[in-house]
Structure 1
Amino acid sequence: MDRRLALGLLLGFVAVVMFGATLPLTRFALHDFSPWFISFGRAALAGFAALGLVLVMRRPWPFGQRAVLWRLAVSSGCLIFVFPLAIGVATQTVPAAHGGIVLGLLPLCTAIAAMLLAGERPGLGLFAASAVGAGLVVAFALRNGAGGALGMGDSLLFLGVIACAIGYAVSGGLARTMSGWEVIAFMLILCLPVTLPLALLTFPWGGAGTVAGASWAALLYLGLFSQLIGFFFWNAGLAMGGIARVGQMQLLQTFVTVGLAWPINGEVPDAETVAFAAGVALVVAVAQRTRSRPH
């Protein structure tokens, strides 16, 4: 494995660890906030942080380039609006561990999106590994709190998967020509005129004084790490290692999520977690040994 790919995978893994806390902390923050404020509030918070960073770094604004602006708009719609709202509303009715369904399907959907939208040509071996990994993770999720009849929460989670895969493919393609941190920063800045008013509109003005400090801390994490800093690592990893290949690291995100859902949400994982995690880790290792077909 060459050094560039290895570094891309490492950056992707760091991002996966950061993203793994998103579902548990979203469910925790729902104790005091609506899913609408969580989604818009975290985006507005991240937008202000991104604006400050861009101004300090004196980076040129890319909005005058029509092709870049279009891709920023598409990826923003998927990753800043649709995905956070989908999981925020879904986790009102399903456990955080249930989000393993989303996480289990993301790598396969990301590989497909990379092929359709980013010009990548993943080999059949990578698709096969993605399918096997998705099957393992979905089976794990169904055995650990995701059982029962499928409902609206599942539909929203699936919508989130599709949106997230598209957003990853489009933003990962942009990261080939821009720094990974710039991609997410300008996405957030582009959305700030929308997210800030919506955050103020959905802010719990009447009960702000009774909101627990832990809920504010959860929102702070969702804004700074889930919505901003995690993407510094993720976009850079996608650009260096390939969207489809680095996307396989998302298979491990389910186990980060389930592991964190225990202390954060009190959702004790099944004893089979270690065995499933070992199986998924093996699938990820096999996926990294497969070859992608040339463009």
Structure 2
Amino acid sequence: MRAKSNVIVPAGVTLGALGVLGFSFSLPATRLAVAGLDAWFVAFGRAFVAGLLAIAYLALSRAPLPSVTQVRRLLIVALGIVVGFPLLTSLALTTQTSAHGAVVIAVLPMSTAIWAVLRASERPPVKFWLASGAGLLAVLAFVATGGGFSGSLSLADGYLLVAVVLCGLGYAEGGALSRELGGARTVCWALVVSLPVTIPISFYTADFSRADSVVWLSFAYVSLISMFLGFFAWYAGLAAGGVAKIGQIQLAQPVLTLMWSALVLSEPVGWPALATAAVVLVCVVLTQRSRVTSTTVATAQPVR
């Protein structure tokens, strides 16, 4: 049993880290995309494009149809990662910087851990909650003081915090479901069941009059990586290493996003953001040293 654990956990960490690396450029890319496209189109259009890719993948891999119960769970996944998070972050980034959003989104691992207890039957130890809670408090302090950017809590911060709640739900449900379907098929089916919503809204909000090459490249990134390929690794990692534990790797995402925001967007990254990012980075190390147990027994599926 120990030998098996030593194989699965590092694989989960590696896959989770690859997912986080892909997601780390999502906010800067979204910020660039909403500069020339409607925020609603960026949110639903990227899911539409990814949904078409998902259909092709499922057909080529001859994936069996999910059961009725699995479809219900896929709708929960879709609510979090296909609709809720993309839409609310797109709306937030029309008025807020990517750097500021990166630090607020650092609340996401705590949200994922809470949903992992409620939806994935995982039981993290006290040490885990203390480390994750410290990261959460650091982020909330950042938001409460305006993060050194705006000086007050804004509507954009509200969008981001609600996005975090919904995304954590999507991560936890999707990570648990990936133990049955596999990481790739879970995100693909979630995208497919969302198409009746994403297709009409995409067409209704389509306005390309202000879109240039940078806008389209950014939209391509959030469609192909943020909404599609990134989840192949992320959900496989959550299934292999545990939703709560692997989800904490995303505490490192603000550091990467702040770097992209400064290098690509030339956004100011003040000391409050850097200090908060440093705190959450320490917290993610501590959470990875905690052993998370589960009340259910499931076999991790390979990346498919």
Q: Tell me the TM-score normalised to structure 2 length.
A: 0.89
1:148-169 alpha-carbon deviations (Å, 9 max, x no partner):
1112111111110100011111
Contiguous gaps of at least 5 residues in structure 1: none
1:148 aligns with 2:151: yes
User: Is the CA contact 2:117–2:123 (under 8 Å) kept in the aligned structure 1?
Assistant: yes
Give the drift of 1:10. 1.2
1:12-37 alpha-carbon deviations (Å, 9 max, x no partner):
11111111111111111111101001
Q: Which residue in 2 is equivalent to 1:74?
A: 76
Q: Which residue in 2 is equivalent to 1:13?
A: 17
1:16-59 alpha-carbon deviations (Å, 9 max, x no partner):
11111111111111111010010111000100111111111111
Q: Which amino acid aligns with 1:160?
A: A
Q: Which residue in 1 is equivalent to 2:300?
A: none
User: Is the CA contact 2:96–2:156 (under 8 Å) kept in the aligned structure 1?
Assistant: yes
Percent identical among aligned pairs is 35
- How large is the RMSD of aligned CA atoms in angstroms? 1.9
Q: Which amino acid aligns with 1:53?
A: Y
Give the distance between the partners of 1:139 and 1:11, measured in 2 at CA.
31
Give the drift of 1:211. 1.9
Q: Which amino acid aligns with 2:92?
A: A
Q: Which residue in 1 is equivalent to 2:265?
A: 265
Question: Which residue of 78, 83, 94 corresponds with 2:96?
Answer: 94
Q: Tell me the TM-score normalised to structure 1 length.
A: 0.92
Give the distance between the partners of 1:105 and 1:286, measured in 2 at CA.
16
Q: Which residue in 2 is equivalent to 1:162?
A: 165
Secondary structure of 2:104 counterpart: helix
User: Is the CA contact 2:12–2:241 (under 8 Å) kept in the aligned structure 1?
Assistant: yes
Q: Which residue in 2 is equivalent to 1:215?
A: 215
Q: Which residue in 2 is equivalent to 1:35?
A: 39
Q: Which residue in 2 is equivalent to 1:52?
A: 56
User: Is the CA contact 1:43–1:223 (under 8 Å) kept in the aligned structure 2?
Assistant: yes
Q: Which residue in 2 is equivalent to 1:290?
A: 290
Give the distance between the partners of 1:86 and 1:143, measured in 2 at CA.
19
User: Is the CA contact 2:100–2:273 (under 8 Å) kept in the aligned structure 1?
Assistant: no
User: Is the CA contact 1:114–1:243 (under 8 Å) kept in the aligned structure 2?
Assistant: yes
Q: Which residue in 2 is equivalent to 1:133?
A: 135
Q: Which amino acid aligns with 1:187?
A: A
1:214-253 alpha-carbon deviations (Å, 9 max, x no partner):
1101001100100010000110000011000001111111
User: Is the CA contact 2:106–2:280 (under 8 Å) kept in the aligned structure 1?
Assistant: no
Q: Which residue in 2 is equivalent to 1:108?
A: 110
Q: Which residue in 2 is equivalent to 1:184?
A: 187
Give the distance between the partners of 1:196 and 1:143, measured in 2 at CA.
36
Secondary structure of 1:94 counterpart: coil
Task: Tell me how many residue pairs correspond in the alignment.
Answer: 290
User: Is the CA contact 1:98–1:146 (under 8 Å) kept in the aligned structure 2?
Assistant: yes
Give the drift of 1:143. 7.5
More displaced stretch, 257-266 vs 66-75:
257-266
Contiguous gaps of at least 5 residues in structure 2: 296-304
Q: In structure 2, do the counterparts of structure 1 residues 249 and 146 end up closer, same or farther at CA, with 3 Å as the change threshold? A: farther
Q: Which amino acid aligns with 2:37?
A: F
Give the drift of 1:270. 3.0
Q: In structure 2, do the counterparts of structure 1 residues 170 and 93 end up closer, same or farther at CA, with 3 Å as the change threshold? A: same
Give the distance between the partners of 1:53 and 1:114, measured in 2 at CA.
28
